[in-house]
Chain A
Amino acid sequence: MKFVKALASATILAACTFGSASAADLVVGFSQIGSESGWRAAETTLTKQQAEQRGIDLKFADAQQKQENQIKAIRSFIAQGVNAILLAPVVATGWDEVLQEAKDAEIPVILLDRTVDAPKELYLTAVTSDLVHEGNVAGKWLVDTVAGKPCNVVELQGTTGSSPAIDRKKGFEAALAGKDNLKIVRSQTGDFTRTKGKEVMESFLKAEDGGKNICALYAHNDDMAVGAIQAIKEAGLKPGKDILVVSIDAVPDIFQAMAAGEANATVELTPNMAGPAFDVLATYLKDGKEPEKWIQTESKLYTQADDPMKVYEEKKGLGY
């Protein structure tokens, strides 16, 4: 049946231009990296949901972390004659050839969540978040919350050398620049994991006078914050009160912590990259208007005032 449908859409494709295809009979191929993290799983779930809502026939291919699988998937999408391809690239390089093949077949490619090192004319647009901006939003929240009071900040960095770790640090430091009351006293990597987040926080607490010297914790992702919250509790302090906790990603578990008053704020890295992608695709196919080369997703700030339990219930089913 699917094969017949693919054949049919291929015939339609051959018969008419992109302009005349409506959303109802769109066939879109999605080459996903894999399911290495909860966030990735949520992105897959949301992409499928978004496609269903718009009546788009989504062809999903899981690459299991391998670029060769992604290239194979894209070639098969081209052979099937899909209307568009979504690609979450596992690495940045090595895409020129296959993207050119898609371009030759006049199939627009939209990059999700990550970008590639390829000439910009080879893809329609890239939908990603701005990592520096995320760090900045977290930093601004902290600056506003402490409101001029002196505050020693400890930072749990992501995996050393990874782009989220570098950029989220940069954005946060930019927000703190010129605010003499805020000082980053310790900064160490927690490898984006709960275990390391907890271990490193334990050492921060020991090193800074049992934690009395620390006024806020900034973690590059929520998982490290969740681990650190446990360390703070075990040290006999109250996370969220004695030590403010701000992190990035907005995974469901941090909303539970916020509801319990143990975390203060998180900046969302939205797993809904497909929604904006489908929107620009629809406009492009209708009017033929080329979108901007980069579409930035919103980095929304959630605090304890945003009914965390409700957000938790919404997010819990997404596969995080």
Chain B
Amino acid sequence: MTSTVRTYLTRLLPQLIALTIIIVAISMIFPGFLNLKIQNDRLYGSLIDILNRGAPVVLLAIGMTVVIATKGIDLSVGAVMAICGAVSASLITSGHSLAETLLVTLAIGILCGIWNGILVAVLDIQPIIATLVLMVAGRGIAQLITEGAILTFNDPGLIFIGSGSFAGLPMPVVIWLLFGILVALVVRRTALGMLVEAVGVNREASTLSGVFTPVLLIAAYVLSGLCAAIAGVIAAADIKGADANNAGLWLELDAILAVVVGGTSLLGGRFSIAASVLGAIIIQAINTGILLSGFPPEFNLIIKAAIIVFILVLQSPRFRAAFTFVSIPRAAGKPTEREAK
């Protein structure tokens, strides 16, 4: 058992190091960063903001990880978020109950996933092209639903999903934590995860060895669509309105980045959901840190890019080789960042 924990930690080490460095750096620039207090019955502070604001990208990254593990990619998640936000807002404003609204919205997300999955698995279209269709068309569909305006709503139940709290944590955080654990259990406590990896490494070989590939592929895109639907509801509930033009805009790229920062290869195969979640939190920590630092906005993207490059270098096999080389002679004690350089 301890060895499993150790392998797990070794796998997550680069991400954990990166996150620690970022958090330490931000708290040096902005001393109040680590402060937490209870306000309105929930924890309140910058660290909680990171977990809360990161919710959409974390959710998208969970679905994206599985899709990428099958050697695919899902560019449509941002647009699916916009569609699902629009659907939930228009249903709740036209007087449907919260349960109906959520069920229909999640069903729409699943439907979007099935569409992508069929294009990829049955029609054999390259994933980047297949999902591009919905990425472009989806935002149009969302705009049709909201008629181009921001559709606002006042239903306390739906708003609770975006800004309520449970057990001292904001609802979005509770949702992604539970959902992430659920997905991780389903793929790792069954053979599903291994089959997904097999398809990602060699689709043909997997099919020949009896894996029913089309269903598995469609399921991966369905999971991604479902994640996008949940993220879309959270994003809409957060601002009490569905903004078809901006909801989820460019978030597919952040989700892919989160998976990459999490160390899952875009070429498919081995994946780690926990690492992708950490990747998404790292990205959000950078965003929040930049906002707190008070730099002029012109620098936002430059700082973000520099930090991401640093993290990717940290994970590169060559850097890791140098890292092991330095650390082996001092087997005892954890090598620090400076020694690694």
Contacts and interface: CB of A to CB of B under 8 A. Distances in A.
A99 to B, nearest CB: 28
B150 A207 contact: no
A234 B235 contact: no
Contact of A194 (B39, B148, B150, B294): B150
Interface stretch (B60-68, B207-215, B238-246, B329-337): B238-246
Interface string A253-287: 10000000000000000000000000000000000
Interface stretch (B9-17, B45-53, B120-128): B45-53
8 contacts: A37-B148, A160-B298, A195-B243, A199-B49, A199-B53, A230-B163, A253-B152, A253-B241
Nearest to B52: A202
B121 to A, nearest CB: 32
B40 A206 contact: no
B239 A195 contact: yes
A60 interface: no
A193 B239 CA distance: 10
A223 B247 CA distance: 13
B45 to A, nearest CB: 7
A202 B284 CA distance: 14
Interface stretch (A85-93, A113-121, A144-152, A181-189): A181-189
Interface string A201-240: 0111011000000000000000100110010001110000
A195 B247 contact: yes
A194 B288 contact: no
A309 to B, nearest CB: 15
Interface residues of B, number: 34
Given A187-B297, A199-B291, A207-B294, A193 B147 contact: no
Contacts of B143: 35
Contacts of B95: none
Interface of B: 30, 32, 39-40, 44-46, 49, 53, 143, 147-150, 152, 163, 235, 238-241, 243, 245-247, 287-288, 291-292, 294, 296-298, 300
Nearest 10 interchain pairs by C-beta:
A203-B291, A189-B297, A194-B239, A193-B246, A35-B148, A41-B148, A38-B149, A160-B297, A206-B46, A203-B292
A141 B304 CA distance: 36
Interface residues of A, number: 35
Contacts of A136: none
Nearest to B170: A234
A195 B291 contact: no
A320 interface: yes
Given A37-B245, A230-B239, A236-B39, A320 B149 contact: yes
Contacts of A38: 148-150
A31 B287 CA distance: 39
A157 B297 contact: yes
A188 B297 contact: yes
Contacts of B238: 195, 198
A292 interface: no
A262 to B, nearest CB: 13
B288 A203 contact: yes
A169 B157 CA distance: 38
Contacts of B297: 157, 160, 187-189
A31 to B, nearest CB: 18
A280 to B, nearest CB: 29
A160 B300 CA distance: 10
Nearest to A36: B245
Contacts of B49: 199, 202-203, 206
Contact of A253 (B45, B53, B150, B294): B150
